[in-house]
Structure 1
């Protein structure tokens, strides 16, 4: 059994610094047994900081991981506009397996998809806690993208690279990937919703 953590904008007392934004996201741990190949990073010999690899090189059961993403995207979709989601049913996902090595980073980006997700398959942990994390920001007007005590804007959701972690966020949010440090290696599958 896996636990799902959903970050939402719960109404907090005035002056409390507890809110992220009125937008739902999910983060949960899944069992990768039978889904992902073991020792994916050992099979990767390229030194490029970023490499897209065939799904068959990373996954044993592509459909099982796709179903997990679709389930989480539809769970968010059911929350509707009050939780910052499109409310549209997701029928399928586009998956891409990627290898991130030291030096890889991705500045601010967004997607045209209703939902975006990541599943970390294998991670050689960094020494710096934030290296290789995904930072998700609220791009709405008024957000300075820096923490402002007492205000909901500027709070970022950070997703640490932990093997078996699956995260889904609405696609309209702005994301970035904190630079992967030397010696760190990450195998991840990125999912974009298809409606």
Structure 2
């Protein structure tokens, strides 16, 4: 699922049973231009200095913190209560054809992705972030009437910012040849 409408920071949407945020942010003044042209990295995965990708690190940091704290505040409405987020660790990554990441979760309360620059794929699902609610316990099969087992996908598009609870199971669908994605990955610090 991709949401392309502009939402204010901290606007929580229940895309499926577990609260998450997915929104478009304006990258003007935040992201640097032509990152892929300046970083012709070999191989399917590379980390690059955050300052090479993000011009206004504090603005992006605050966007992540706002969305993470909005999810934390959702406990009264059925969300997953987390600690108040005071900061985030951010890492700039470049994903190219052949990169994939099998199922993982993080020990942090929240994880988020902000897509900075994207060379789109031919196949719609290539390079997407797939998020699963692991509580079904077996084959990730959707159960009628329940949120468990349903997959949420975040399609890379420049300006897309997504935040989910860290206990959810995530994976990166294989990036196809010719596709390139510059993404900032953030994990919460409480």
Tell me, yes or no, if the aligned pair for 1:84 and 1:170 is still in contact at 8 Å: no
Structure 1: where are the runs of 5+ without partners? Answer: 10-19
Of structures 1 and 2, the larger Rg is shown by: 1
The Cα shift of 1:82 comes to 4.9
1:49–1:81 distance in 2 versus 1, CA, 3 Å: farther
Contact 1:144 1:153 in 2 (8 A): no
CA contact (8 A) 2:114 2:161 kept: yes
RMSD: 1.8
Determine if the alignment matches structure 1 residue 98 to structure 2 residue 98.
Answer: no
Equivalent residues of 1:101, 1:183 under 8 A apart: yes
Q: Does 1:156 align with 2:151?
A: yes
Q: Could you tell me the TM-score, scaled by structure 2's length? A: 0.90
Partner of 2:6: 2
Aligned to 1:147: 142
| Counterpart residue number, 1:188 | 183
Unaligned runs of 5+ in 2: none
Normalised TM-score (structure 1): 0.88
Decide which moves more: 144-153 or 118-127: 144-153
Between Structure 1 and Structure 2, how many residues are aligned? Answer: 184
